[in-house]
Structure 1
Amino acid sequence: MTSPWESLQVGYFIGYAMWNYLTTPFLFTYQGVTSREGEQWTENGEVWHRLEVNFPPTIATHSAQQTFYFGDDGLLRRLDYNVDVNVGVAVAHYVGAYTEFDGIKVPTRRRVHRRNPDNSASGNWSIGVDIEGVWTV
Protein backbone atom coordinates (compact mmCIF):
# COMPACT_ATOMS: atom_id res chain seq x y z
CA MET A 1 0.00 0.00 0.00
CA THR A 2 2.84 2.41 0.71
CA SER A 3 5.19 1.52 -2.15
CA PRO A 4 4.38 2.90 -5.60
CA TRP A 5 4.27 0.48 -8.49
CA GLU A 6 6.73 0.67 -11.31
CA SER A 7 5.44 0.69 -14.89
CA LEU A 8 6.08 -3.05 -15.31
CA GLN A 9 3.91 -3.81 -12.26
CA VAL A 10 1.13 -1.55 -13.53
CA GLY A 11 1.31 -3.22 -16.95
CA TYR A 12 1.11 -6.70 -15.41
CA PHE A 13 -1.91 -5.74 -13.30
CA ILE A 14 -3.80 -4.09 -16.18
CA GLY A 15 -2.90 -6.97 -18.51
CA TYR A 16 -4.18 -9.80 -16.35
CA ALA A 17 -7.19 -7.79 -15.17
CA MET A 18 -8.40 -6.98 -18.69
CA TRP A 19 -7.71 -10.53 -19.88
CA ASN A 20 -9.88 -11.84 -17.02
CA TYR A 21 -12.61 -9.28 -17.67
CA LEU A 22 -12.83 -10.03 -21.38
CA THR A 23 -12.66 -13.83 -21.09
CA THR A 24 -15.17 -14.36 -18.26
CA PRO A 25 -17.19 -16.65 -18.21
CA PHE A 26 -15.17 -18.67 -20.77
CA LEU A 27 -12.28 -18.56 -18.29
CA PHE A 28 -14.30 -20.87 -16.02
CA THR A 29 -13.68 -23.75 -18.46
CA TYR A 30 -9.90 -23.62 -18.05
CA GLN A 31 -8.11 -26.58 -16.52
CA GLY A 32 -7.94 -26.39 -12.73
CA VAL A 33 -10.81 -23.90 -12.34
CA THR A 34 -13.50 -25.20 -10.00
CA SER A 35 -16.87 -23.75 -9.09
CA ARG A 36 -19.95 -24.35 -7.05
CA GLU A 37 -23.31 -22.64 -6.83
CA GLY A 38 -23.68 -20.36 -3.83
CA GLU A 39 -26.74 -18.98 -2.09
CA GLN A 40 -28.88 -16.49 -3.97
CA TRP A 41 -28.38 -12.78 -3.31
CA THR A 42 -30.98 -10.02 -3.55
CA GLU A 43 -29.90 -6.54 -4.56
CA ASN A 44 -31.87 -3.63 -6.02
CA GLY A 45 -35.01 -5.77 -6.16
CA GLU A 46 -33.32 -8.48 -8.26
CA VAL A 47 -32.41 -12.01 -7.25
CA TRP A 48 -28.91 -12.88 -8.40
CA HIS A 49 -27.41 -16.36 -8.61
CA ARG A 50 -23.96 -16.69 -7.08
CA LEU A 51 -21.19 -18.84 -8.48
CA GLU A 52 -18.18 -19.34 -6.22
CA VAL A 53 -15.11 -19.88 -8.40
CA ASN A 54 -11.61 -21.03 -7.42
CA PHE A 55 -8.73 -20.32 -9.79
CA PRO A 56 -5.50 -22.35 -9.89
CA PRO A 57 -2.12 -20.61 -9.44
CA THR A 58 -1.55 -20.94 -13.19
CA ILE A 59 -4.15 -18.23 -13.86
CA ALA A 60 -3.14 -14.68 -12.95
CA THR A 61 -6.16 -13.00 -11.38
CA HIS A 62 -7.10 -10.63 -8.56
CA SER A 63 -7.75 -13.45 -6.12
CA ALA A 64 -7.84 -17.26 -6.22
CA GLN A 65 -11.36 -17.24 -4.75
CA GLN A 66 -14.06 -15.06 -6.30
CA THR A 67 -17.84 -14.93 -6.26
CA PHE A 68 -19.72 -14.06 -9.47
CA TYR A 69 -23.34 -12.85 -9.45
CA PHE A 70 -25.59 -13.54 -12.44
CA GLY A 71 -29.08 -12.23 -13.19
CA ASP A 72 -31.95 -14.38 -14.43
CA ASP A 73 -30.89 -13.40 -17.96
CA GLY A 74 -27.54 -15.13 -17.43
CA LEU A 75 -25.55 -11.88 -17.53
CA LEU A 76 -22.90 -11.08 -14.95
CA ARG A 77 -23.90 -8.27 -12.58
CA ARG A 78 -21.16 -8.26 -9.97
CA LEU A 79 -18.10 -10.12 -8.75
CA ASP A 80 -16.58 -10.11 -5.28
CA TYR A 81 -12.98 -10.77 -4.34
CA ASN A 82 -10.23 -9.73 -1.97
CA VAL A 83 -7.51 -7.94 -3.93
CA ASP A 84 -4.33 -9.95 -3.28
CA VAL A 85 -2.03 -7.22 -4.61
CA ASN A 86 -3.67 -4.64 -2.34
CA VAL A 87 -3.40 -6.27 1.11
CA GLY A 88 -6.59 -8.27 0.60
CA VAL A 89 -9.02 -5.33 0.36
CA ALA A 90 -12.56 -6.71 -0.07
CA VAL A 91 -14.32 -5.33 -3.15
CA ALA A 92 -17.66 -5.54 -4.93
CA HIS A 93 -17.04 -5.13 -8.66
CA TYR A 94 -20.12 -4.19 -10.69
CA VAL A 95 -20.44 -4.61 -14.46
CA GLY A 96 -22.96 -3.26 -16.93
CA ALA A 97 -23.54 -1.37 -20.18
CA TYR A 98 -23.51 -4.59 -22.18
CA THR A 99 -22.64 -4.44 -25.87
CA GLU A 100 -23.17 -7.37 -28.22
CA PHE A 101 -20.35 -8.60 -30.48
CA ASP A 102 -21.21 -11.45 -32.86
CA GLY A 103 -23.88 -12.65 -30.45
CA ILE A 104 -21.70 -12.42 -27.33
CA LYS A 105 -22.71 -9.79 -24.77
CA VAL A 106 -19.75 -8.03 -23.16
CA PRO A 107 -19.96 -5.57 -20.25
CA THR A 108 -18.31 -2.28 -21.21
CA ARG A 109 -18.61 -0.53 -17.84
CA ARG A 110 -17.03 -1.62 -14.57
CA ARG A 111 -17.18 0.02 -11.15
CA VAL A 112 -15.25 -1.28 -8.17
CA HIS A 113 -16.44 -0.45 -4.64
CA ARG A 114 -15.05 -1.47 -1.28
CA ARG A 115 -17.17 -4.26 0.18
CA ASN A 116 -18.66 -3.92 3.66
CA PRO A 117 -18.68 -6.76 6.22
CA ASP A 118 -22.40 -7.37 5.45
CA ASN A 119 -21.45 -7.98 1.77
CA SER A 120 -22.97 -4.68 0.63
CA ALA A 121 -20.95 -2.22 -1.43
CA SER A 122 -19.78 1.15 -0.18
CA GLY A 123 -21.48 4.13 -1.77
CA ASN A 124 -18.58 5.49 -3.81
CA TRP A 125 -16.64 3.55 -6.41
CA SER A 126 -12.85 3.76 -6.41
CA ILE A 127 -11.95 2.25 -9.77
CA GLY A 128 -13.85 2.59 -13.03
CA VAL A 129 -13.22 1.02 -16.41
CA ASP A 130 -15.15 2.08 -19.51
CA ILE A 131 -14.52 0.35 -22.81
CA GLU A 132 -15.33 2.76 -25.61
CA GLY A 133 -14.53 3.21 -29.25
CA VAL A 134 -15.30 1.81 -32.63
CA TRP A 135 -15.44 -1.98 -32.70
CA THR A 136 -15.05 -3.96 -35.87
CA VAL A 137 -14.96 -7.69 -36.35
Structure 2
Amino acid sequence: MKPKGTSVVDLRDLVLEAHGVARWKRFRKIEADMSIVGALWARKGWPDALKNVRVTAEITEQQLNYEPFTAEGLRSFYCPDLVAIETLDGKRLKQRTNPRSAFASHKPATPWDDLHLAYFSGYAMWNYLNTPFIFARPGFAAEEIGPWVEGHQTWRRLKVSFPESVATHSPEQVFYIDDRGLIARLDYSADISGGVPSAHYPSDYRDFEGIMIPTRRRAYLRNIDGTPIQDGAVVAIDISNMRFS
Protein backbone atom coordinates (compact mmCIF):
# COMPACT_ATOMS: atom_id res chain seq x y z
CA MET A 1 0.00 0.00 0.00
CA LYS A 2 1.45 3.37 -1.02
CA PRO A 3 1.13 6.28 1.40
CA LYS A 4 -1.77 8.59 0.54
CA GLY A 5 -0.77 11.36 -1.81
CA THR A 6 2.44 9.76 -3.09
CA SER A 7 1.15 7.28 -5.67
CA VAL A 8 2.12 9.46 -8.63
CA VAL A 9 5.54 10.38 -7.26
CA ASP A 10 8.58 8.43 -8.37
CA LEU A 11 9.84 6.75 -5.20
CA ARG A 12 13.50 7.51 -5.82
CA ASP A 13 12.76 11.20 -6.27
CA LEU A 14 10.52 11.21 -3.20
CA VAL A 15 13.37 9.77 -1.12
CA LEU A 16 15.92 12.26 -2.46
CA GLU A 17 13.66 15.21 -1.70
CA ALA A 18 12.75 13.96 1.78
CA HIS A 19 16.41 13.64 2.74
CA GLY A 20 17.29 17.14 1.50
CA VAL A 21 18.94 16.68 -1.88
CA ALA A 22 18.75 20.40 -2.75
CA ARG A 23 20.83 21.28 0.32
CA TRP A 24 23.14 18.30 -0.18
CA LYS A 25 24.31 19.61 -3.53
CA ARG A 26 25.87 22.63 -1.83
CA PHE A 27 28.46 20.63 0.11
CA ARG A 28 31.63 18.71 -0.63
CA LYS A 29 32.67 17.22 2.72
CA ILE A 30 31.17 15.60 5.82
CA GLU A 31 32.69 15.36 9.29
CA ALA A 32 31.03 13.28 11.99
CA ASP A 33 31.76 12.09 15.52
CA MET A 34 30.54 8.56 16.08
CA SER A 35 30.82 5.24 17.88
CA ILE A 36 30.79 1.97 15.91
CA VAL A 37 30.63 -1.37 17.74
CA GLY A 38 28.85 -4.72 17.41
CA ALA A 39 29.37 -8.42 16.88
CA LEU A 40 30.93 -8.03 13.42
CA TRP A 41 33.89 -6.04 14.71
CA ALA A 42 34.42 -8.43 17.63
CA ARG A 43 34.32 -11.45 15.32
CA LYS A 44 36.89 -9.87 13.04
CA GLY A 45 39.24 -9.09 15.94
CA TRP A 46 38.55 -5.34 16.36
CA PRO A 47 35.82 -5.00 19.02
CA ASP A 48 36.56 -1.41 20.08
CA ALA A 49 38.69 -0.08 17.23
CA LEU A 50 35.96 2.32 16.05
CA LYS A 51 34.30 3.01 19.39
CA ASN A 52 35.04 6.75 19.48
CA VAL A 53 36.15 8.14 16.13
CA ARG A 54 35.89 11.16 13.91
CA VAL A 55 34.99 10.39 10.32
CA THR A 56 35.82 12.71 7.43
CA ALA A 57 34.21 11.80 4.11
CA GLU A 58 34.26 13.40 0.68
CA ILE A 59 30.93 13.77 -1.09
CA THR A 60 31.96 14.07 -4.73
CA GLU A 61 34.46 11.19 -4.62
CA GLN A 62 34.78 7.91 -2.72
CA GLN A 63 37.25 8.92 -0.03
CA LEU A 64 37.06 8.68 3.76
CA ASN A 65 39.24 8.48 6.85
CA TYR A 66 38.86 7.55 10.50
CA GLU A 67 40.74 9.28 13.30
CA PRO A 68 42.03 7.79 15.55
CA PHE A 69 42.36 4.44 13.83
CA THR A 70 43.55 1.40 15.84
CA ALA A 71 45.81 3.64 18.01
CA GLU A 72 46.16 7.25 19.09
CA GLY A 73 48.09 9.31 16.56
CA LEU A 74 47.00 7.21 13.57
CA ARG A 75 44.31 7.61 10.95
CA SER A 76 43.02 5.49 8.09
CA PHE A 77 42.75 6.45 4.45
CA TYR A 78 40.20 4.81 2.16
CA CYS A 79 39.44 5.02 -1.53
CA PRO A 80 38.23 2.08 -3.66
CA ASP A 81 41.65 1.30 -5.12
CA LEU A 82 43.85 1.94 -2.08
CA VAL A 83 43.72 1.87 1.71
CA ALA A 84 46.42 3.03 4.08
CA ILE A 85 47.36 3.74 7.68
CA GLU A 86 48.94 7.15 8.27
CA THR A 87 50.21 9.35 11.05
CA LEU A 88 48.22 12.51 11.69
CA ASP A 89 50.83 14.58 9.85
CA GLY A 90 50.34 12.46 6.73
CA LYS A 91 53.25 10.01 6.92
CA ARG A 92 52.09 6.77 5.32
CA LEU A 93 53.03 3.71 7.40
CA LYS A 94 51.47 0.96 5.29
CA GLN A 95 49.12 0.65 2.36
CA ARG A 96 47.34 -1.89 0.16
CA THR A 97 46.38 -1.44 -3.47
CA ASN A 98 43.39 -3.30 -4.96
CA PRO A 99 42.18 -3.83 -1.37
CA ARG A 100 38.97 -5.68 -2.19
CA SER A 101 40.97 -8.59 -3.63
CA ALA A 102 42.50 -9.14 -0.16
CA PHE A 103 39.11 -10.50 0.98
CA ALA A 104 39.09 -13.39 -1.50
CA SER A 105 37.78 -16.60 0.09
CA HIS A 106 36.95 -14.84 3.37
CA LYS A 107 34.31 -16.53 5.51
CA PRO A 108 32.18 -14.82 8.21
CA ALA A 109 34.70 -15.84 10.90
CA THR A 110 37.89 -14.93 8.96
CA PRO A 111 39.85 -12.37 11.02
CA TRP A 112 40.90 -9.03 9.53
CA ASP A 113 44.14 -7.11 9.66
CA ASP A 114 44.09 -3.34 10.06
CA LEU A 115 43.98 -2.72 6.30
CA HIS A 116 40.99 -5.05 5.91
CA LEU A 117 39.32 -3.00 8.63
CA ALA A 118 40.21 0.27 6.89
CA TYR A 119 38.68 -0.90 3.61
CA PHE A 120 35.44 -2.39 4.95
CA SER A 121 34.71 0.39 7.41
CA GLY A 122 35.75 2.96 4.79
CA TYR A 123 33.47 1.96 1.95
CA ALA A 124 30.58 1.02 4.25
CA MET A 125 30.52 4.37 6.04
CA TRP A 126 31.02 6.31 2.80
CA ASN A 127 27.92 4.58 1.44
CA TYR A 128 25.88 5.20 4.59
CA LEU A 129 26.75 8.89 4.76
CA ASN A 130 26.10 9.51 1.06
CA THR A 131 22.86 7.53 0.79
CA PRO A 132 20.36 8.17 -0.73
CA PHE A 133 21.99 10.98 -2.72
CA ILE A 134 24.24 8.61 -4.66
CA PHE A 135 21.10 7.10 -6.23
CA ALA A 136 21.00 10.07 -8.62
CA ARG A 137 24.54 9.45 -9.91
CA PRO A 138 25.27 7.97 -13.34
CA GLY A 139 25.23 4.18 -13.36
CA PHE A 140 22.68 3.72 -10.58
CA ALA A 141 19.31 2.14 -11.38
CA ALA A 142 16.31 2.13 -9.06
CA GLU A 143 12.86 0.58 -9.28
CA GLU A 144 9.99 0.33 -6.85
CA ILE A 145 9.09 -3.22 -5.84
CA GLY A 146 6.25 -4.56 -3.69
CA PRO A 147 5.62 -3.09 -0.23
CA TRP A 148 6.63 -4.68 3.07
CA VAL A 149 4.67 -4.91 6.30
CA GLU A 150 6.72 -4.89 9.49
CA GLY A 151 4.92 -4.61 12.81
CA HIS A 152 2.25 -1.96 12.37
CA GLN A 153 4.02 -0.23 9.49
CA THR A 154 3.80 -0.63 5.73
CA TRP A 155 6.89 0.51 3.86
CA ARG A 156 7.36 1.10 0.16
CA ARG A 157 10.51 -0.53 -1.20
CA LEU A 158 13.15 0.65 -3.65
CA LYS A 159 15.50 -1.87 -5.26
CA VAL A 160 18.76 -0.15 -6.18
CA SER A 161 21.46 -1.51 -8.50
CA PHE A 162 24.94 -0.07 -7.90
CA PRO A 163 27.50 0.42 -10.68
CA GLU A 164 30.81 -1.45 -10.51
CA SER A 165 32.61 1.85 -9.97
CA VAL A 166 31.11 2.21 -6.48
CA ALA A 167 32.51 -0.02 -3.73
CA THR A 168 29.58 -1.27 -1.66
CA HIS A 169 28.23 -4.30 0.17
CA SER A 170 26.42 -5.95 -2.75
CA PRO A 171 25.45 -4.92 -6.29
CA GLU A 172 21.73 -4.94 -5.46
CA GLN A 173 20.24 -3.56 -2.25
CA VAL A 174 16.66 -2.96 -1.13
CA PHE A 175 15.66 0.21 0.73
CA TYR A 176 12.45 0.42 2.77
CA ILE A 177 10.80 3.84 2.80
CA ASP A 178 8.52 5.16 5.53
CA ASP A 179 5.60 7.55 5.08
CA ARG A 180 7.92 10.57 5.45
CA GLY A 181 10.06 9.41 2.54
CA LEU A 182 12.94 8.47 4.87
CA ILE A 183 14.86 5.20 4.76
CA ALA A 184 13.68 2.94 7.60
CA ARG A 185 15.59 -0.20 6.61
CA LEU A 186 18.01 -1.49 3.98
CA ASP A 187 18.84 -5.07 3.05
CA TYR A 188 22.14 -6.30 1.64
CA SER A 189 24.59 -9.17 1.84
CA ALA A 190 28.11 -7.93 2.51
CA ASP A 191 30.02 -9.93 -0.10
CA ILE A 192 33.50 -9.44 1.34
CA SER A 193 32.54 -10.53 4.86
CA GLY A 194 31.04 -13.84 3.79
CA GLY A 195 27.83 -12.69 2.11
CA VAL A 196 25.65 -13.01 5.22
CA PRO A 197 22.18 -11.48 4.61
CA SER A 198 21.64 -8.39 6.77
CA ALA A 199 18.74 -6.10 7.69
CA HIS A 200 20.01 -2.63 8.60
CA TYR A 201 17.83 -0.06 10.40
CA PRO A 202 18.61 3.68 10.29
CA SER A 203 16.65 5.73 12.85
CA ASP A 204 16.67 8.80 15.09
CA TYR A 205 16.84 11.20 12.15
CA ARG A 206 18.11 14.71 12.80
CA ASP A 207 18.22 17.78 10.60
CA PHE A 208 21.82 18.88 9.89
CA GLU A 209 22.03 21.89 7.56
CA GLY A 210 18.65 20.98 6.08
CA ILE A 211 19.72 17.37 5.44
CA MET A 212 18.02 14.48 7.23
CA ILE A 213 20.61 12.13 8.73
CA PRO A 214 19.94 8.99 10.82
CA THR A 215 22.00 9.23 14.01
CA ARG A 216 21.37 5.63 15.02
CA ARG A 217 21.96 2.51 12.92
CA ARG A 218 21.53 -1.13 13.90
CA ALA A 219 22.22 -4.05 11.57
CA TYR A 220 21.00 -7.60 12.24
CA LEU A 221 21.27 -10.93 10.50
CA ARG A 222 18.33 -11.63 8.21
CA ASN A 223 16.23 -14.78 7.91
CA ILE A 224 15.44 -16.32 4.55
CA ASP A 225 11.89 -14.90 4.79
CA GLY A 226 13.28 -11.39 5.18
CA THR A 227 12.64 -11.00 8.89
CA PRO A 228 15.51 -9.76 11.10
CA ILE A 229 17.16 -11.89 13.79
CA GLN A 230 17.11 -9.33 16.57
CA ASP A 231 19.12 -11.17 19.22
CA GLY A 232 22.10 -8.82 19.06
CA ALA A 233 23.27 -6.14 16.68
CA VAL A 234 25.93 -7.15 14.18
CA VAL A 235 26.74 -3.46 13.75
CA ALA A 236 25.72 -0.56 16.03
CA ILE A 237 26.47 3.00 14.89
CA ASP A 238 25.69 6.13 16.89
CA ILE A 239 26.41 9.63 15.57
CA SER A 240 26.76 12.41 18.13
CA ASN A 241 27.54 15.32 15.81
CA MET A 242 27.87 16.10 12.12
CA ARG A 243 29.19 19.00 10.07
CA PHE A 244 28.99 19.78 6.37
CA SER A 245 31.36 22.01 4.38
TM-score, structure 1 as length reference: 0.94
Unpaired runs of 5+ residues, structure 2, are 1-106
- Picking from 115, 132, 136, the partner of 2:240 is 132
Alignment of 1:53 with 2:160, yes or no, is: yes
- Counterpart of 2:223 in structure 1 is 116
Deviation at 1:13, TM superposition (A): 1.0
Alignment of 1:30 with 2:102, yes or no, is: no
Q: Using a 3 Å threshold, how does the CA distance of structure 1 residues 136 and 93 change in structure 2: closer, same or farther?
A: closer
Q: Using a 3 Å threshold, how does the CA distance of structure 1 residues 26 and 4 change in structure 2: closer, same or farther?
A: same
The count of corresponding residues between Structure 1 and Structure 2 is: 136
Deviation at 1:102, TM superposition (A): 1.4
Identity of aligned residues (%): 45
Unpaired runs of 5+ residues, structure 1, are none
- Counterpart of 2:41 in structure 1 is none
Distance 1:92 1:72 in 2: 19
Deviation at 1:112, TM superposition (A): 0.6
Distance 1:52 1:94 in 2: 16
**What RMSD over aligned residues (CA atoms) do the two structures have, in Å?**
1.2
Distance 1:71 1:40 in 2: 10
Paired residues for 1:1-137 under 5 Å: 1=107, 2-124=109-231, 125-133=233-241, 135-136=242-243
More displaced, 107-116 or 123-132?
123-132
Higher relative contact order (CA 8 A, sep 6+): 2
Q: What is the letter of the counterpart of residue 235 of structure 2?
A: I
Distance 2:243 2:157 in 1: 33
Distance 1:123 1:76 in 2: 19
- List, as ranges, runs of 4+ consecutive aligned residues in structure 1 with deviation greater than 2 Å: none
**Any idea what the Cα deviations from partners look like across 1:94-123, whole Å, max 9, x if unmatched?**
010111011111001110110001100002
Q: What is the letter of the counterpart of residue 130 of structure 2?
A: T
**Any idea what the Cα deviations from partners look like across 1:12-48, whole Å, max 9, x if unmatched?**
1111111111111101011111111010001121110
Distance 2:175 2:212 in 1: 16
Distance 1:55 1:123 in 2: 27
TM-score, structure 2 as length reference: 0.54
**Corresponding residue SS for 1:40:** strand
Distance 1:98 1:26 in 2: 16
**Corresponding residue SS for 1:61:** coil
